[in-house]
Amino acid sequence: MSRSDAASRSGVSGWLRGWRPAVSMAARNLRRNRVRTALAVLGVCIGVLAVAALGIFGNVLALGAADAIGDIGTQIVVSPNADAGVESLSDADVADIRRAVGGPAVVPLYSDNAIVSGQSDQQFATVYGVEEPGLAFEAAEGRLPERHRQGAIVGAGVAEDLSIGAGDTVGIAGRQVRVVAVLTESETFSPVAPDDAVFLPESAFSADGYAQVLVVADSGESARAAADDIREEVNAREERVDLFELAAIVDEVNNFFSLLSTFLLGLGAISLVVAGVSILNVMLMSTVERRQEIGVMRAVGVTRRDVLRVLLSEAGLIGAAGAAAGTLLTVLLVAGLVAFTPEVDASLALDPTNGYYLLLALGFGVGVGLVSGAYPAWKAANERPVEALRN
């Protein structure tokens, strides 16, 4: 008597060795009824396509929205509360705000309006007085000084309208000032509107208080925390300042898009469930048809576990083939969309997070195969061979 005992040989290689003959036998069984197999694979393929495509669609919408809103959520604009009779923010107020927020950069701004003129054109613009422009803005041309002592920093919109660049001279309220830097175009919506503004050193202003204070945080979360701190500490006794913050709105928008993504994924998942039912059907039919064969396998000494492996491999192969085809189709679909539709922003469609949805759909496809194959496989493997062999 040969005592071959696979079970006693543990380890991954032993485990894999048990699956290899199962998968090879499963593949041959699937080839017996090609049309039925192909239809089941098609079902999974469509399901995976739906999950992946709708998932990516939702993700692209969310990414697009995040892109459009930009880092709006990371800035807070603090202004004096006119209702409480506060006309401007003093150095003491700024110090209070600094103390309240801790980490995030605090940039106080003087504010006025003036005619700004270039070589040939002129326009009305907001003029801010700022000491540390580098904390809140970025330069597209030239360099932002650490301490703003002289010269003008021009917003992207003004620079374009008046066609001026760094090194040019600009007239502000009749005085000629050299342009030291031009700002990058602002992607955020903010009441400060830096695009349509010119920034001068604080010394150019003779006002006795700041018109606004910008608080610039790293993330929406810390911006929200900073806003709360200002409300608690600066506004503790009286409502000295008004806060303009968009972090909460950004949260709402993000929540909406994640809900939309989930909803779309759910829609896709329904078709995957339908595909699962079709695998269940195919596997049940095929195990009933092959009842005697499975009985013979059990009779000649093939264990329940190995029968289960063969049948699970069949379902898993259907799932894997469908998932692979569906994933490939999704990739082609997205590529086609990017190639032929100029409205689709390629950088959004090719965002690496979309790969997550591809993987998710691929995993779902294989998973659906295994889950829906589990019951028929278990049922067939556990049938008593004496029943299965009965004609």
Which CB sits closer to another protein, 104 or 316? 316
Indicate which single residue of 15, 21, 82, 248 sits in contact with another protein (rule: CB under 8 A). 21
Indicate which single residue of 297, 315, 334, 377 sits in contact with another protein (rule: CB under 8 A). 297
- Please report whether residue 287 would count as binding another protein according to CB under 8 A: no
- Please report whether residue 4 would count as binding another protein according to CB under 8 A: yes
Question: Which distant-in-sequence residues (6+ apart) come within 8 Å of 383 by Cβ?
Answer: 291, 294, 295, 298
- Please report whether residue 299 would count as binding another protein according to CB under 8 A: yes
- Please report whether residue 70 would count as binding another protein according to CB under 8 A: no
- Please report whether residue 274 would count as binding another protein according to CB under 8 A: no
DSSP letter (8 states) at residue 383: S
DSSP letter (8 states) at residue 145: -
The string of DSSP letters for 181-239 reads EEEPPP-S--TT-GGGEEEE-GGG---SSBSEEEEE-SSHHHHHHHHHHHHHHTTSSS-
Least separation, in Å, of the C-beta of 311 and another protein? 13
- Please report whether residue 304 would count as binding another protein according to CB under 8 A: yes
Cβ 123 vs Cβ 162: under 8 Å: yes
Q: Which two tokens stand for residue 6?
A: 């696979």
Q: How far apart are CA 69 and CA 360, in angstroms?
A: 27
At CA 245, angle to CA 240 and CA 251, rounded to 5? 145
- Please report whether residue 12 would count as binding another protein according to CB under 8 A: no
Which CB sits closer to another protein, 288 or 386? 386
Amino acid at 119: Q
Question: Which x/- pattern, by CB under 8 A, does the window 186-225 give for another protein?
Answer: ----------------------------------------
Which range of residues in 27-35, 159-167, 331-339, 356-364 is near another protein by CB under 8 A?
27-35
CA end-to-end span of the chain: 31
Indicate which single residue of 58, 166, 298, 354 sits in contact with another protein (rule: CB under 8 A). 298
Q: Tell me how far apart the 2 most distant CA atoms of the chain are, in Å.
A: 108
- Please report whether residue 1 would count as binding another protein according to CB under 8 A: yes
Least separation, in Å, of the C-beta of 70 and another protein? 59
DSSP letter (8 states) at residue 297: H
Beta bridge partners of 171: 117, 176
Q: How far apart are CA 354 and CA 361, in angstroms?
A: 11
Residue 192 sits at φ, ψ, to 5 deg, of: -75, -30
Indicate which single residue of 11, 16, 18, 235 sits in contact with another protein (rule: CB under 8 A). 18
Indicate which single residue of 96, 306, 314, 383 sits in contact with another protein (rule: CB under 8 A). 306
Indicate the length of the chain as a whole number.
391
- Please report whether residue 384 would count as binding another protein according to CB under 8 A: yes
Which CB sits closer to another protein, 173 or 389? 389
Least separation, in Å, of the C-beta of 384 and another protein? 7
Which CB sits closer to another protein, 8 or 120? 8
| 105-117 and 212-216 beta bridge pairing | antiparallel
Cβ 275 vs Cβ 320: under 8 Å: no
Q: How far apart are CA 45 and CA 52, in angstroms?
A: 10
- Comparing C-alpha atoms, which of 292, 112, 106 is closest to residue 197? 112
Please state, as a whole number, how many other Cβ atoms lie within 10 Å of the Cβ of residue 362.
21
Which CB sits closer to another protein, 31 or 237? 31
Indicate which single residue of 281, 292, 329, 338 sits in contact with another protein (rule: CB under 8 A). 292
Least separation, in Å, of the C-beta of 389 and another protein? 7
- Please report whether residue 376 would count as binding another protein according to CB under 8 A: no
Least separation, in Å, of the C-beta of 387 and another protein? 9
Name the site residues for another protein (rule: CB under 8 A): 1-4, 6, 9, 14, 17-18, 21-22, 25, 28-29, 31-32, 292-293, 296-304, 306, 309, 384-386, 389, 391
